[in-house]
Chains A and B, each alone.
Chain A
Amino acid sequence: MKSEAKTVIIGGGIIGLSIAYNLAKLGESDIVVLEKGYLGNGSTFRCGTGIRQQFGDEANIRMMKRSVELWKGLKEELGYDVEFTQSGYLFLIYSEEELEAFNNNVRLQNRFGVPSRIITPEEAKEIVPPLNTDGVIAAAWNHTDGKANPFKAVFAYANAAKRLGVEIYEYTEAKDIKVEDGKIKAVVTNRGEIRTGRVINAANAWAPLINKMAGVPIKIPIEPYKHQSVKTEPIKPGQIEPMVISFKHGGVYMTQEANQGGVIGGYGLKYGPTYDITPTYDFLRGVSYRFAQIIPALKYVNIIRVWGGFYAETPDHNAAIGRINEIDEFYIAAGFSGHGFMLAPVVGEALAELIVDGKTDKPLDFYDPYRFERGELRGQALQMG
């Protein structure tokens, strides 16, 4: 292990790796990524695979529009197939009230070039043939949203970063951060000390622990909540291509994996704050019941796997991304509240620009880590798929 590095990124999930890759791409050298387990094991490998631009606020829409542009080119850029497909996102709408909210969102999304639209239940059924449209009055549909393979995306970023000289240390845990007079001196790990002047906290659910080590003086409330996902045996391809979402059914989301054919998804049941991610029987029952209401034929499909993961939540369900002014060269990109995977390409690009160029054209102000301290929360971002 190196004993000195210009930049130490703490967290080997897709956010940390995307930041490492993008920094190296902008010409930064001497970058180290620390991961306390194996790559992706925190939140990335447990996510629901979805990538969408259908948000209800300008910043997330613009960020995700850029992110999708990047996702489209990742296979070529990183030299490894991340299995990104634009299979769309379909939000089922059951009431006039919901319809009005989605109408407003669609108008906003269209203004920023996202081609979402409201469609009829019949059109929704054409997109997802086994869909139960009972009670559905409309749906919000965007064919340019999609999904990708979290496992492959992590390795694609890791390998591309390594090719640019980034060193990645797995099973290496940050234990302490030495700061003197507002300047970072070193990161202490279970494998020794790395002298450095710059730290990026990309530890998501564990980010508060890293902030504490560095003595970050402001309040950045990030708490880990257990969410669970399920995967079924493969079914006939092309049945549930988009991510299908219903708020009426407790925030259920589901999609059929493009290559594997199994249905993957979950719903809004959460536990916490906790670092325990043991799966629960209540979730298995609840998710089965909800899946079967939306796609009745799923009653006859076997569940082969259930697993737990984290949503590292902030009070407004938006991440904290930016510079911590009190500590020279300390940055944070954490608290993704379930959106880290989809945002990773653009977050890496934006933060790298901020660090190297001192500015970025992406709306990072929205994710200002100081907003909690000021009591100024953003509109709640949809937490879904």
Chain B
Amino acid sequence: MTEEPREKIIICRCNDVTKEEIEALIDRGITDIEEIKRLLRIGMGPCQGRTCLPLVMGILARKTGKKQEGIPLPATRVPVRPVMMGVLAGEMGDDDEE
């Protein structure tokens, strides 16, 4: 059986971040989820971390020996789902101009 190439395991599908990249960062001593988020942009794509964050927390817990419940979740940002600019802008008229 051939081993699956690790770099091919995508954890963050919005920003194409691989499992290997996440593990490499943790190995370099960066174990703060907020820092991992910003360096690799996990949780910063259109899905707002729905796919990747639980997986990253799992990797982080396993590699650092921390309990997953003990790792604080990174800040989530509105909008919860992507919103088209025209929808937000549409209701405004020239009166709103500063």
Contact = CB atoms under 8 A, between A and B. Distances in A.
A260 B15 CA distance: 8
B97 A233 contact: no
A288 B89 contact: yes
Contacts of B70: none
A306 B78 contact: yes
Interface residues of B, number: 28
B92 A289 contact: yes
Contacts of B88: 284-285, 288-289, 303
B85 A298 contact: yes
A182 interface: no
Nearest to B45: A304
B83 A302 contact: yes
Contacts of A151: 38-39
Contact of A41 (B34, B77, B92): B34
B27 interface: no
Interface in A181-222: none
How big is the A interface, by class?
20 to 34
Given A233-B46, A233-B82, A285 B39 contact: no
Contacts of A300: 84-86
A346 interface: no
Contact of B96 (A268, A289, A304, A307): A289
Given A45-B38, A260-B41, A268 B85 contact: no
Interface string B1-23: 00000000000000100000000
Contacts of A233: 46, 82
Among B32, B39, B77, B91, find the residue whose CB has the most chain A CB atoms closer than 10 A: B77
A170 B32 contact: yes
A151 B39 CA distance: 6
6 smallest CB-CB distances across A and B, nearest first, come from A299-B86, A302-B82, A288-B88, A288-B89, A151-B38, A250-B98
Interface of B: 15, 32, 34-35, 38-39, 41, 44-46, 48, 75, 77-79, 82-89, 91-92, 96-98
6 contacts: A38-B32, A38-B35, A231-B44, A250-B97, A285-B91, A292-B85
